[in-house]
Amino acid sequence: MKKGLFFVLLVAIITLAGCSGSDKNTIEFWTPLTGEDGAYMDQLVEAYNETEPEFKVKHVVTSDMYTKMYTVLNSGKGIPDLSIIHADRVPSFVKQDLLEPMTTIVEQQSELNQDNYLDVAWESGVIDGTQYTIPLDIHSNAMYYNEDLLKEYGVENWLDDNVITFDEMLSMEGKLAENQFIVNDALMSWVILAQIQNLGGDIQVDGEPAVNTPEMKQAIEAAKQVADAGLMTPYGEDGYLMFQSGDVFFSTDGTWSSTGHAEVEGLNFGVTNIYSFEPDVYHNRASSHLFAMLANEDRTDEKEQGIGEFLEFIRQNSLVWAEAGQIVASTDVVESADYDQYMQSFFTSTPEQEESLYIYTYEYYPYIQEALDMYVADLVHGEMDIDEGLAEMQKFVEDKVNEGTLDVENAPDELPEEE
């Protein structure tokens, strides 16, 4: 064999080994952070690696991450050492024995405990008393308001209790200038999920998915009333951009959106809770990015110790993550004076605000979220009968449960070739 060809093959072998998660001196860390938040995570990883740890961290941003996770778990090859998963995936992963408990990590790093994290984030990783994750953040639905429009129409007092009600919004019917709107339909499925909690409902009954419920119908009908009154941005229009243009009072997008809104010159805005039926009952649909270890017999005790050291570094140094618009889970960060400069600090400013952050951890939640994303805009904007839509949504979720697409046994044995 020629030396040049041998060298090329050697490099290829080394490269493949590095991508397989088998590097003994590197913690391979998978995340689904394909947006700007991925760059902030890169900063955190780089800062940690600069401390010259025994095990450096390699951040791998993975699109279609859950499909790839199921594939490597099914094959037993290329399993990452550490991952970020969403809170709603924890019950299914644990049920299938796909996660390693964080027991050893917590024993080695005594500061990785519930006292040092926001309760709702920490508890989203607890199953039957066992801690399976360490939280990074909470990312929540939020409602931004246009300060200038509120002042122009003399309704700044709506913010006195930090809750805008349906009745307050509906009171503006027929009073707005042409092409102005009270609210957009950004993240409408998340808004509806918040209303389910406001109404005392749930998305499951005795462990079975419950979508076609009186609470779901009431929540959708209430949002539809706002749309029918001409107060919601039109169906198919980009309500997010319309808010940024200054024509919409409220935008129901995410905590992370504060960074995008801040880049709009002349947009004077603040943040409050998602609208509700009553000012004293309010919720904000939320989730959490959680550090987790997928089940992997090849992960050594020494590498687990390295993972613990990395997670403790993140706990102490995740103020950078606030720059991505996330509600940092570490109380060391949340309680620091520096954190107050970030708009999402509103959601941890009081115990009541923290309690408003509702994380769904029902096993079949991903199916319910998928159904809402498919149907809810049509229902709110009158493109489909609500009773008909709810029946279809219920069937959609039940069919998904029967198909078991969240089950690792239904994943392909091999990853598809990259294009």
- How many other CB atoms sit within 10 Å of the CB of residue 211? 23
Confidence (pLDDT) at 11: 37
Residue 2 pLDDT exceeds 90: no
Confidence of residue 17 (pLDDT cuts 50, 70, 90): very low
Total-model pTM: 0.91
Domains in the chain: ranges and CATH: 3-139+287-349 (3.40.190.10), 140-286+362-403 (3.40.190.10)
Query: Of 252, 186, 210, 162, nearest to 398 (Cα)?
Result: 210
Q: What is the pLDDT of residues 69-111, one digit of tens each?
A: 999 999 999 999 999 999 999 999 999 999 999 999 999 999 9
Q: Which residue has the higher pLDDT, 191 or 418?
A: 191
Alpha-carbon span 384 to 382, nearest angstrom: 5
Torsion-angle region of residue 129: left (phi > 0), alpha (psi -120 to 50) or beta? left
| Bridge partners, residue 291, by sequence | 84, 134
Residue 20 pLDDT exceeds 70: no
- On the CB side of 192, how many CA atoms lie within 13 Å of its CA? 30
Confidence (pLDDT) at 388: 98
Confidence (pLDDT) at 77: 92
| Bridge partners, residue 144, by sequence | 251, 271
Residues 6+ apart with CB under 8 A from 342: 258, 322, 323, 325
136 in Cβ contact with 289 (< 8 Å): yes
Confidence (pLDDT) at 127: 97
Distance of CA 412 to the CA centre of its chain: 26
Confidence (pLDDT) at 1: 45
Confidence (pLDDT) at 413: 57
Exposure string of 114-125, with b = 16+ CB inside 10 Å and e = fewer, is eebbbebbbbbb
Query: Of 307, 291, 290, 310, nearest to 299 (Cα)?
Result: 307
Residues 6+ apart with CB under 8 A from 158: 150, 164, 168
Alpha-carbon span 69 to 66, nearest angstrom: 5
Q: What is the pLDDT of residues 41-51, one digit of tens each?
A: 999 999 999 99
Amino acid identity of residue 243, one-letter, is F
Confidence of residue 417 (pLDDT cuts 50, 70, 90): very low
Q: What is the pLDDT of residues 377-396, one digit of tens each?
A: 999 999 999 999 999 999 99
Confidence of residue 409 (pLDDT cuts 50, 70, 90): confident
Residue 3 pLDDT exceeds 50: no
Residue 418 pLDDT exceeds 50: no
| DSSP 8-state secondary structure symbol assigned to residue 414 | S
Q: What is the pLDDT of residues 330-368, one digit of tens each?
A: 999 999 999 999 999 999 999 999 999 999 999 999 999
Confidence of residue 213 (pLDDT cuts 50, 70, 90): very high
Residue 419 pLDDT exceeds 70: no
Confidence (pLDDT) at 405: 85
Longest Cα separation, the chain: 82
Residue 7 pLDDT exceeds 90: no
Confidence of residue 22 (pLDDT cuts 50, 70, 90): low
Instruction: Tell the residue number behind the tokens 């243009």, with chain if given.
Output: 245
Residue 160 pLDDT exceeds 60: yes
Q: Which residue stretches of 128-244 are H helix?
A: 147-152, 166-170, 188-198, 214-228, 239-244
- The torsion angle over the Cα atoms of residues 27, 28, 32 and 33, rounded to 10 degrees, is 60
